[in-house]
Amino acid sequence: MNKILITGGAGYIGSHTAVELVKAGLEPIILDDLSNSNEKVLDRLEEILERKLTFYKGDCNDRSILDQISKDHKISGVIHFAAFKAVGESTEQPLKYYSNNIGSLLVLLDFMKENSISDLVFSSSCTVYGQPDVLPVTESTPRKDAESPYGNTKKICEDILVDYVKSKAGIRVIALRYFNPVGAHPSGKIGELPIGKPNNLVPFITQTAAGIREKLTVFGDDYDTPDGSCVRDFIHVMDLADAHVKAFTYLNDKPSGFYDVFNVGTGNGNTVLEVIHTFERVNDLKLNYEIGPRRAGDVVKIWADTKKINSVLGWKPSKTLEDSMRDSWNWQKGL
């Protein structure tokens, strides 16, 4: 059975991808330093899968932990999620983000080369597009200056991967540029578990509904959008996890030196207020929210053109925004 190293595998997207890898007959090996996740996730994964997964606690900037994993297992490929991801924090501590997010990729690539591991799926982001001039964005939409150091690390990492593949390093890479992951596993056993104040909309919604937060602030209702609030492409985390499995499988028959990028989104944009009202409707709840001032650096509207991933990888999202809001609340209620 092919063993796939998942860096950041106890995190939000990584844990859901681990479930889908097992369903596809692959064996995830999880590496996570638990700096933005919780060890309880591993128990929940065991409940969902009815078996334990192999877990190493460590930082993928630490070459020694990677060497230990390689000693213990023959790794067939890597899905690289591990990164700091709080946009606001990245503007306050840029060196922390550049050191960790770029440094870990460099360590990982060197490790892969020395151990003849050829396949890598890299976790990129729609932040590389900035505020696009034309919507929806395709994979050939020009990348713009990033709005944050976090976004810039994703651009730089993509550039590193392109240059490294061109150097005849003997690897095959797919970078997935995903939009806004939401939702949770339908069992309610795993989901998005932000440590401290959430950086994303949906955990703020669910924590407000649960009484953990007093109210939710919508940053601006005077943008050029259907209801004045920002537009995003919200993709269910289970669909996103499935895209990683399809990307990894797709690499299997590709030649050495292969590199490609794919958008992962629904192909539709929803406003922040639409998301709030959908959550209220499907869960029969009223949220305490207020309209606040615009937030500096916010992209006004962005959503994906998904024709490429639909046709090349044969991937399409199967879940709706209603599913995402229902699953998110189901997860929150079980905490």
Q: Which stretches does DSSP call E strand in 153-268? A: 172-178, 180-182, 216-219, 231-232, 234-236, 259-264
Contacts of 297 (CB under 8 A, 6+ apart): 87, 91, 147, 148
Residues noted as catalytic: 150
Cα separation, 53 vs 104, whole angstroms: 23
Burial class (CB in 10 A: 0-12, 13-18, 19+), 327: buried
> How many residues does the structure list for the chain?
335
Contacts of 120 (CB under 8 A, 6+ apart): 77, 78, 79, 80, 108, 109, 112, 161, 171, 172, 173, 174
Cα separation, 326 vs 86, whole angstroms: 25
